[in-house]
Structure 1
């Protein structure tokens, strides 16, 4: 999606702000319009949370951020946009009117998407002069973390514009799900609505409180849903005989009065009950704090699933690899003088990196240096194609020195110097700095170039060898680090 650079966002509540954060953190320039006078503050807070979550989910892989602008009018927000996202309240007449305004103000080639959670796209595009460029792209909160986005065309949507939207969503780390038939509520919200209605009945009938219902989900089926969904879970429940046995065993229960899909009337008493129980459940914790806790839990689940290359973890793994490849074209850079160490890593210290002593635990230092080494390898051309060809570098020796303490919020950078090299070896020295100044730690590493199929060392060749030689030549004039070649400082008898 190299031709899409500017994003216009109309309506910047929870969903619009989430879209803005996701696009900004992926390097897109974003202009937003919302009549709320507090929009700049609110979107700034959401973006701050998104940065924290992104840094935890993809440490060391931050792309250069795009620019965020709060536009004074709808026309100025969308006038230069390549892709527009509408996020207004779920009022059909309002959306139809504003989408027509967006259509009139946007450039002819811009694609226009609505975040509607269930309104029919054919009706929403009915007031547009160019309905062929309209699609529904329904995300899930928090938009900057959850990968699912439901794609649904209207009857006048051009297939090419649906393809454009899908490619863009994939580029920013999302999992597009095409809705086969236009239907109220699409797929996910129809499922969520059924659960929501039954939950309201359970509260209404005094069977359970809001906290008890949430516990029934988060300690049980919700854990399975996060990676396996409903049908695959029930297939397993059928044992070796599979889904057919499950349906035979549990199918009769479908005739029992276990659910009430018609929602109860939202009387004042029911609204008061749900609201009071929810307040008690939150226990005075602010919305922003709850958002951060939600984000941290999602990061933990998605990171674990990435290790299994399953469910949402597969999407994250693919997105992470794409960031490696994109970052490899420009993230590590020579100093302004052209011959200094490479800047190979940048991050802020998150709370979970802190140990019982109140500062960075020791294995996080190694994590920073590992990310720096990966960045250097990307810089010299070790990409997916190179690895697929059976070539790579293995780290065979590392010596760390811990010289200072990193605390929550500290800005960390790593500079990397090539100390020595030959056809099979790459000798590196990393310096980890806090706030661009004090050295917190150093790491000296020896890497061997290997043939991964033969499982033995092999000489570098081609573009990688040329890149290593250029880098070594650039660093040849640098002073050799004082700590290079040092061993652990135990006095020998």
Structure 2
């Protein structure tokens, strides 16, 4: 089990702790704040609710979380050290020197949002800028800057916990993302100061327009489309002159005097003050999960990062002597107004288990690409216990019968507490995708099915209702 030491347990440190912990790492948090355990516990509760909901496989079992006020206790044995202390250079340097004395030779990642790697560097240790984005446990991008070799080692570890490293080609102040954010922030401050728009109107302008486009395509792909059939070159020539117009105030900054601060805070209170910070965080996380899961289907942006990470997550194993064909956490979007999982998603969970069984017998992506698959003919579902958002589901599959073109499966859906929540019987017929008619499976697939029928014959079955009637085959 790998260990990560998180130095500083604030918002960013707590997000790092959750990201590593939910990806199977032991995490030691070092923070003198007596409230650190409570604060990180609340961040972790949000992370447990949201991060696994991005995936259609189960994340590794959680690591062990511990809290320390002694730096040596936290750092000893750590494979990764992430510094998230206040943005004061003397504090960071002193922290690095203490870490290097305890654990020489390791990489220290800094969550700094402003200091360059050359400013953070000390002789005693290798320090790499590892700049994440809040919430760290959901947003995949992390900016890296520093010496090439430790950046490469850091990038490999970060990919292993589902993040997308972006290594800076050149060292610059504020890195890449903060420079973009600063541009928008400055313009927004001027608009409030000049009474052009309120905080709510500015947020609507972003989230209802270019924010949605940028979330999937970024800046240049968005403008490439804006050029239409005439192309990007035409767009640049048409709108390029506007860059010299006096629209923005990017080179000028309004003074954050008492009047402007009071206006921003009052407008923000009117906009969002009815919700607590934790309620806002949960809304943000639920929306991010929905957005990123939508991007999975198009294999774009953050969705592609999740898919690539998911491909390396383990699957398989056994439970109660039967093969595990699917493991996952129930996302909030699977629950209804009664607060439990909607019946449509029981069927979705069963379809994932059927897919898992198909891969076991050789009906994988290549087999389907070759023109054959199994189609569902009949399904019977029994509800035995409630399932709620956040429950970890383990689904086992018993092959009851396999004859010619048909296979009869019996899925059991287990909650994380060991409760049998539902059973699903499903009759599948092997199909030629070119003719859309039933056909005999490949002999190797038929042989694997026969092995499973024999292996599963001794297991009891509760309430099977589906039979092999000729009318079921089309």
Q: TM-score, normalised by structure 1?
A: 0.85
From 181, 191, 194, the counterpart of 1:202: 191
Q: Which residue of 2 aligns with 1:16?
A: 13
Whether 1:118 and 2:103 are equivalent positions in the alignment is: no
Aligned with 2:426: secondary structure?
strand
Q: Distance in 1 between matches of 2:390 and 2:173?
A: 48
Query: What is the aligned partner in structure 2 of residue 491 from structure 1?
Result: none
| C-alpha spacing 1:67/1:434, structure 2 compared with 1 (3 Å) | closer
CA-based RMSD: 3.1
Q: Which runs of 5+ in 2 are unaligned?
A: 470-474
Q: 2:79 matched to which residue of 1?
A: 82
Contact kept, 8 Å, 2:335 with 2:389, in 1: the verdict is no
SS at match of 1:173: coil
Structure 2: distance between partners of 1:322 and 1:422? 34
Kindly indicate whether residue 301 of structure 2 is the aligned counterpart of residue 311 of structure 1: yes
* Higher mean C-alpha deviation, range 295-304 or range 66-75: 66-75
Give the deviation of 1:55 after TM superposition. 3.4
Aligned 1:122-271 pairs, distance under 5 A: 122-125=118-121, 127-131=122-126, 134-153=127-146, 157=147, 159-261=148-250, 262-271=252-261
Q: How far 1:467 sits from its partner (Å)?
A: 7.0
Q: Quick one: distance in 2 between partners of 1:450 and 1:97?
A: 67
1:475 corresponds to which of 447, 456, 473: 456
Determine the structure 1 residue equivalent to 2:383. 403
Matching residue of 1:275: 265
- Structure 1 stretches of 5 or more lacking a match? 489-493
Matched, 1:327 2:315: yes
Distance 1:358 1:253 in 2: 52
Pick 1 or 2: higher relative contact order, CA cutoff 8 A, min separation 6.
Answer: 2
Q: What is the CA deviation profile of residues 442-487 of structure 1, one whole-angstrom value per residue up to 9, with x for unaligned ones? A: 21234567898999644354xx888766654442222244315359
What is the CA deviation profile of residues 413-443 of structure 1, one whole-angstrom value per residue up to 9, with x for unaligned ones?
A: 4332222347976532112345756654321
Shift of 1:248: 2.1
**d(CA) in 1 for partners of 2:406, 2:270:** 61
- Whole-angstrom CA distance in 2 between matches of 1:465 and 1:161: 50
Task: Name the structure 1 match of 2:472.
Answer: none
Partner of 1:366: 347
Cα distance in 1 for residues equivalent to 2:227 and 2:333: 40
Whole-angstrom distance in 2 between the partners of 1:410 and 1:50 = 10
Q: Is the 8 A contact 1:400 1:441 kept in 2?
A: no
Q: TM-score, normalising length from structure 2? A: 0.88
Mean Cα displacement is larger for which, 290-299 or 469-478? 469-478
The question of whether the paired residues in 2 share the 8 Å contact of 1:333 and 1:343 is answered with yes
Partner in structure 1 of residue 94 of structure 2: 97
1:352-388 alpha-carbon deviations (Å, 9 max, x no partner): 333456643221111121233344456667777x669
Q: What secondary structure sits across from 1:327 in the alignment?
A: coil
Contact 2:56 2:328 in 1 (8 A): yes
Q: CA deviation at 1:232?
A: 1.9
Q: Is the CA contact 2:25–2:63 (under 8 Å) kept in the aligned structure 1? A: yes
Separation in structure 2 between the aligned mates of residue 390 and residue 16 of structure 1, nearest angstrom: 48
Q: Which moved more, 1:474-483 or 1:82-91?
A: 474-483
Go from structure 1 to structure 2 and tell me whether the alpha carbon gap of 1:435 and 1:238 turns closer, same or farther (over 3 Å shift). closer
Secondary structure of the residue aligned to 1:146 is coil
CA distance in 1, matches of 2:145, 2:275: 37
Question: What is the CA–CA distance in structure 1 between the aligned matches of 2:419 and 2:25, rounded to whole Å?
Answer: 33
C-alpha contact (below 8 Å) 2:104/2:125 kept by paired residues: no
Distance 1:275 1:128, change over 3 A: farther
1:349–1:409 Cα contact (<8 Å) kept = yes
Change (3 A) 1:383 1:184: farther
Worse-superposed segment, 267-276 or 452-461: 452-461
* Number of residue pairs aligned between Structure 1 and Structure 2: 465
**Aligned-pair distance for 1:197?**
1.3
Query: Take 2:65 and 2:245, find their aligned partners in 1: how far apart are those partners?
Result: 54
SS for the counterpart of 2:86 is coil
Structure 1 residues 102 and 168: CA distance shift in structure 2, 3 A: same
Residues 272-306 of structure 1: CA deviation (Å, up to 9, x unaligned): 22112111111320111111111111111111111
CA-CA distance at 1:144 after TM superposition: 0.9
The Cα shift of 1:321 comes to 2.2
Cα separation, 2, equivalents of 1:391 and 1:96: 61
Aligned 8 A contact 1:31 1:71 in 2: yes
Q: Given the alignment, which residue of 51, 55, 58 partners 2:55?
A: 58
SS in 1 for 2:412: strand
Q: Note closer, same or farther for the CA distance 1:374–1:250 as it changes in structure 2 (3 Å cut).
A: same
For the residue of structure 2 that corresponds to 1:315, the secondary structure is helix
Q: What is the DSSP-based 3-state SS (H/G/I as helix, E as strand, rest coil) of the residue aligned with 1:135? A: strand
Residues 148, 387 of structure 1: CA spacing in aligned structure 2 closer, same or farther, 3 A cutoff? farther
Check whether the contact 1:354–1:361 (CA below 8 A) recurs between aligned residues.
yes
